[in-house]
Amino acid sequence: MRLKRDGRRMADTKSGRDKQARDAERRQIQRDISEARERGDELEPTPDPPTECHRRGCSEPVAFSVTERYQEETGAGAVEATAFLCVDHTAVESPMNLDDAYEGYVFHVEPVAAGDGN
């Protein structure tokens, strides 16, 4: 719910209403900040890299992480999707969201160190 000050109502019970409006504005600002912070956290996933290929039914060891960053169509902002894949599945991977590409669009393949526990 978004509270807006209505200029036409200025006449009645002024001071109490002004204070309420100020408090509401302050709460709204604090809520905006915390929401922005939550969204920021979502952009930093820190999953343990899996050891098996992400593709269903494939149990080959992970060789690459494939990351695509694109603009979500709802306008909610940039989305980053990462899949950990074996060599074969990385080779057939390709950009999926070119329709949602923007200036910060990224399609990125990065080798993953062999899972020797180190």
Interface contacts to Zn ion, rule CB under 5 A: 53, 55, 58, 60, 86, 89
Q: Closest approach of Cβ 66 to Zn ion, in Å?
A: 11
Angle, CA 34 vertex, CA 32 and CA 25 arms, to 5°: 35
Choice between 69 and 89, CB closer to Zn ion: 89
23/60 with CB nearer Zn ion: 60
Nearer to Zn ion, 3 or 58 (CB): 58
What residues contact residue 85 under an 8 Å CB cut-off, 6+ apart? 53, 54, 55, 62, 63, 64, 65, 66, 93
In the complex, least distance from residue 53 CB atom to Zn ion, rounded to whole angstroms: 3
Task: Specify the residue, 53 or 66, whose C-beta has the smaller distance to Zn ion.
Answer: 53
Provide the minimum distance between the beta carbon of 49 and Zn ion in the complex, in angstroms, as a whole number.
Answer: 14
Residue nearest to Zn ion (CB): 53
Residues 6+ apart with CB under 8 A from 79: 69, 70, 71, 72
